Amino acid sequence: MKFNGGYNVMLEGAPSIGIATYEKPDALHLPLFSDCLDFSLLQVEHGESVKKGQVLAKDPVNYSVPLLAPMDGTINLEIAERHITLENLSSPEESVSDEADVDDDKRQTLLRFGVWSFMTKLDNGRIPDPETVPESLVIPVFRFEPFLPNAELLLKESLDQFIEGLGNIHKTLDDAAIQLILPETESALKAPLHQAAEQSDWLTLYEVPETYPFDHPALLAQMLELDPEKVWTLDVQAVLGAQGALDSNRPYVKRTISVSGPMAAQPTHHQVPLGYPISLLVGQASNTELRIICGGVLTGKVIDSAQLGMDAECVALTFLEEMTEREVMAFAQAGFGKQSYSRTFASVFKPLFKEKFTTALRGESRPCIFCGFCENVCPAGIIPHLIHRYLDNDRPEDAYRVGLDKCIECGLCSYVCLSKINHLELLQAGKEQAATEAIEG
């Protein structure tokens, strides 16, 4: 396979390989909304006592995927809008749901125990219909975007369960092929995974250069010429969640997230139940005004200030310093502490280092100067500035003609742009509009 483009953004604040002990919360605040989900059908009442794994709400638009109680507790619906608060929390973090039998239909089991909502279709980023199956499932084991959770940590104690989980998912999805993405570099995880692949005819490993975003499942699907409508993806933790659900009726209600970035006091990982108060995690960051991003620094989304607890989709909290003042004459500063793709700052004379990244853009958005950087880094082989121009001029059919559908939304074009043009936002909006129009017919 021949990879083009890509670029490793070097930033200070990567999470250490360890899991910090987290402060026990007084309450969990489960958001009824997230990027993809809207749990609008409440299944509980104010004051009701619930058990771990009990369904609290459902998303009627997304095949009724449930929001589950992460612990035993009492429901409070009056603390915050669009949240279910769980108080009087009690113990059974390690217990297993006392739901009776697992469904014969294993896909319904994944739905019931909170795993199905982690399946994503590559063509539109949406949750797939549980009545359907993919031809392939592409799973990135390691993630290259700064500051996502570390794969070796996630699988240190659970590689066997991960491999069993892959087998279980393969059977559950009617023998779908599974492709794993691994880096070419050394890792203790690789030998057991290679062994598992050699012993099966449905598991294939692809080793890719350790450059962002060559770990992206949509990129591998494009290179293998798989039909994106028939390819799904999910992450490493969801595979472990699926194994727990299928093997032990275990509800999937706890995630290991990275809490990192240049402004995190001690960048590391935390294993927290869903709904864990964001304020307790922010408390560990510095006092400076922060921008909190759910996800990695290139593709994550700024957390809504109304959101009180961790939602299921969030795998990382990234803290950046919020620059409230303009950087005057930023372009004229030597920039010994700044990294850039253009290598125009004085920092090129220093040994390799990681930048203390902030939200500053180093100047306002300007017209494109046709430097070609966005085209150089684009792993999908398309021309971001051209697509941007078509979308900006309300010509989506031309944007698709020159490859908008190939964009994997890695955000590199926005990062390297000398003119500070936010390509990613417009590309995502263009694709979203096309998807909505397709659904509406």
Q: Which is nearer to ligand SF4, 70 or 296 (CB)?
A: 296
Q: How far is the CB of 346 from ligand SF4 (least distance, A)?
A: 21
At residue 335, what is the residue type?
A: G
327 contacts 364 by C-beta, under 8 angstroms: no
| Nearest one of 11, 332, 284 to 147, comparing CA atoms | 11
Residue 302 binds to ligand SF4 (criterion: CB under 6 A): no
Residue 423 binds to ligand SF4 (criterion: CB under 6 A): yes
Residue 199, Cβ density class (10 Å: 0-12 exposed, 13-18 middle, ≥19 buried) = exposed
Q: How far is the CB of 299 from ligand SF4 (least distance, A)?
A: 9
Q: Is the dihedral of CA 262, 268, 274, 280 positive or negative?
A: negative
Q: How far is the CB of 121 from ligand SF4 (least distance, A)?
A: 18
At residue 281, what is the residue type?
A: L
Among 373, 390, 391, 426, binds ligand SF4 (CB under 6 A): 373
At residue 362, what is the residue type?
A: R
Residue 369 binds to ligand SF4 (criterion: CB under 6 A): yes
- Applying CB under 6 A, the span of 30-38, 155-163, 310-318, 407-415 interacting with ligand SF4 comes to 407-415
Residue 89 binds to ligand SF4 (criterion: CB under 6 A): no
Q: Which is nearer to ligand SF4, 116 or 212 (CB)?
A: 212
Q: Which is nearer to ligand SF4, 353 or 370 (CB)?
A: 370
Residue 298 binds to ligand SF4 (criterion: CB under 6 A): no
Among 36, 282, 330, 368, binds ligand SF4 (CB under 6 A): 368
Among 46, 265, 372, 429, binds ligand SF4 (CB under 6 A): 372
Q: For the chain, what percentages of helix, strand and coil (3-state, to nearest 5) are there?
A: 25, 20, 55
Q: How far is the CB of 433 from ligand SF4 (least distance, A)?
A: 16
Provide the pairing of β-strand 316-321 with 254-260: parallel
Binding mask 328-367 for ligand SF4 (x = CB under 6 A): ----------------------------------------
234 contacts 244 by C-beta, under 8 angstroms: no
Provide DSSP, 377-426: H-TTS--HHHHHHHHHTT-HHHHHHTTGGG-----HHHHH-TT---HHHH
Residue 409 binds to ligand SF4 (criterion: CB under 6 A): yes
Q: How far is the CB of 1 from ligand SF4 (least distance, A)?
A: 16
Region of 312 (left: φ > 0; alpha: ψ -120 to 50; beta: rest) is alpha
- Applying CB under 6 A, the span of 63-71, 84-92, 93-101, 373-381 interacting with ligand SF4 comes to 373-381
139 contacts 179 by C-beta, under 8 angstroms: yes
Residues 6+ apart with CB under 8 A from 285: 263, 264, 265, 319
Q: How far is the CB of 373 from ligand SF4 (least distance, A)?
A: 4
Q: Name the residue with tokens 């590309």.
A: 427
Residue 293 binds to ligand SF4 (criterion: CB under 6 A): no
Residue 382 binds to ligand SF4 (criterion: CB under 6 A): yes
Helix or strand (DSSP H, E) at 75: strand 72-76
Q: How far is the CB of 380 from ligand SF4 (least distance, A)?
A: 4
Among 121, 143, 254, 385, binds ligand SF4 (CB under 6 A): 385
Residue 83 binds to ligand SF4 (criterion: CB under 6 A): no
At residue 115, what is the residue type?
A: V
Beta bridge partners of 302: 293
Q: Which is nearer to ligand SF4, 267 or 411 (CB)?
A: 411
Residue 3 binds to ligand SF4 (criterion: CB under 6 A): no
Give the binding site for ligand SF4 (CB under 6 A): 368-374, 377-380, 382, 384-385, 407-413, 416-419, 421, 423-424, 427
